[in-house]
Structure 1
Amino acid sequence: MNPAQYIEQTHLKPTINDRDIEKLIEEALNYNFVGVCVPPFWVKKVKRDLLKTETKVVTVIGFPLGYNRTETKVREAEVALKDGADELDLVISMTALKTNPFWAKVEMVRLADLAHQAEKMLKVIIETAYLSEEEIKKTALLCEEAGADFVKTSTGFATANFSEKKDFYAGAKLEDVKLIRSTVSEMVGIKASGGIKTYQQVQDFVKAGAERIGTSSGVEIMQEYLKNIEKKETIL
């Protein structure tokens, strides 16, 4: 399994600069990642530089907390699509979800419609770290009903300060991916994101049901994968 077919090489740190972006573009060209995920500010440049490749340009909407007004997220998405984004990763409004799930669904519907009108895809980040198993199931179904193309586990920016869960972990969990996969239909994909740093983890998450892997360790994962191939060829 070539992990590049699943990896969205990601750089969303607030201090990202032009050198980081040039490096990310070079990495995408070298390893043919399925996608790169960048802040909205950099979408236009990255799309231009990767225009002749099959690598998708992914950006985030309402990142990282998600409690912006829906109208703000809609405008942010419109600009991102105009700049060339192929896929939008929307941070769900946790405050809306926890108060009245219908409000969160309305927001997802608006963003899904906007993306689909442009023939692009919408992934919804549900931030599993803040949800119980039952809430994960209900929220995943809500995403499917709203027209989301993917359910994404995490932003990677969640903190224990805002969670009541004793076993708090901000990244992707295998059990959460399995739970989402058993809940939504095959029409909805899953993106596991947060804390995935090794080739073995990529294999485990794909086996659990993930079709995309969001990681900032794509290069290291590819190097590990290529070394494994070299060892096998040497043995043969």
Structure 2
Amino acid sequence: MDDYNYQDLSKMIDHSLLTPTLTTKELDAGLQLAIAYDVASVCILPYYLKECATALRGSTIKASTTIGFPHGGHTTAIKRAEAEQALQDGCEEFDMVVNISQVLSGAWDYVQQDIAAVIDVAHGGGQKVKVIFENCYLTDDQKIQLCRICTELKADWVKTSTGYGTGGATHADLKLMREHSGSHVQVKAAGGVRDLESLLAVRALGVSRCGASRTSQMLGEAREKLGLPPIANTATTSGGY
């Protein structure tokens, strides 16, 4: 007997609609797919966040967008302004990218202040933040230091990747992030979780969220395994990760 139900898995999925070439028609189709599969959140391009929040109203799905995406090199002032705009547009979960250059430079005070600026805006509005490390460029020591900073700042999640770097989530990184983050900080995997087997594998490591564009495939497989009817008439919009 499986030790999970459908919602245990569907509420791990942040459905990604971040590919820059997605049309508004495709974004709308992606929103309907997310609603049909009852995922945790939809992470959408910032310009379409307000429409996303409107479409998700009345559901249990969170409206989410990106800050400083995808390379983290925006100034702190711009990241704060992005967060303020997103809050105004109905954002409930913010996926922000650290300043990768400053992490690699060892400028930890800058990195901490940069992350804090977004967390302050989001938490001030009663919403949550996922901090993206882009682990493919970092050493383990740098990842550990980011986990410590995020723990101190009370980030809601630490997240492996944007999906635009040279690699995605690895089991080694997920274990490291879980081990070195406080119990109040959750872990999100992004990049490489594309089927039910890999979703269950990261869940066993303590991951609570996964960025995914292959939502219909993963959750369709879960529904079949659990003996649930398939979800009919949904597009298979692929939008990142």
Query: Is TM > 0.5 for Structure 1 vs Structure 2?
Result: yes
Pairing 1:123-202 to 2, within 5 Å after superposition: 123-159=130-166, 170-202=167-199
- The residue number in structure 2 matching 1:234 is none
- The residue number in structure 2 matching 1:25 is 31
Q: What one-letter code is carried by the residue in structure 2 that aligns with 1:213?
A: C
User: 1:224 aligned to 2:224?
Assistant: no
- Once the 2 structures are TM-superposed, how far is the Cα of residue 132 of structure 1 from its aligned partner? 1.3
User: 1:72 aligned to 2:78?
Assistant: yes
Q: Which SS does the other structure have where 2:129 is aligned?
A: strand
- The residue number in structure 1 matching 2:52 is 46
Distance 2:191 2:204 in 1: 17
- The residue number in structure 1 matching 2:234 is none
Identify the match of residue 110 of structure 1 among 117, 121, 143: 117
Distance 1:5 1:75 in 2: 29
Identify the match of residue 212 of structure 1 among 195, 209, 223: 209
Note the aligned Cα RMSD (angstroms). Answer: 1.2
2:16–2:42 contact (8 Å) kept in structure 1: yes
- Once the 2 structures are TM-superposed, how far is the Cα of residue 110 of structure 1 from its aligned partner? 1.3
Distance 1:38 1:194 in 2: 16
Deviations 1:140-197 (A, max 9, x none): 11111223111010001013xxxxxxxxxx1111111111111111100111111210
Q: What one-letter code is carried by the residue in structure 2 that aligns with 1:154?
A: S
The number of residues matched between the two structures is 221
Distance 2:116 2:53 in 1: 26
Distance 2:222 2:156 in 1: 28
Distance 1:127 1:146 in 2: 19
Identify the match of residue 36 of structure 1 among 30, 35, 42: 42
2:154–2:184 contact (8 Å) kept in structure 1: no
Distance 2:112 2:103 in 1: 8
- The residue number in structure 1 matching 2:94 is 88
User: 1:62 aligned to 2:65?
Assistant: no
Q: Which SS does the other structure have where 2:59 is aligned?
A: coil
Q: Which SS does the other structure have where 1:45 is aligned?
A: helix
Structure with the larger helix share: 1
Q: Unaligned 5+ residue runs, structure 1?
A: 160-169, 232-236
- Once the 2 structures are TM-superposed, how far is the Cα of residue 92 of structure 1 from its aligned partner? 0.4
Distance 1:210 1:102 in 2: 28
Moved over 2 A (4+): none
Q: Which SS does the other structure have where 2:184 is aligned?
A: coil
Report sequence identity in percent. Answer: 30
Q: What one-letter code is carried by the residue in structure 2 that aligns with 1:129?
A: C
Q: Which SS does the other structure have where 2:226 is aligned?
A: helix
Deviations 1:123-152 (A, max 9, x none): 100011111112111111111122311101
- The residue number in structure 2 matching 1:163 is none
Relative contact order (C-alpha < 8 Å, sep 6+): which is higher? 2
- Once the 2 structures are TM-superposed, how far is the Cα of residue 118 of structure 1 from its aligned partner? 0.1
- Once the 2 structures are TM-superposed, how far is the Cα of residue 102 of structure 1 from its aligned partner? 1.2
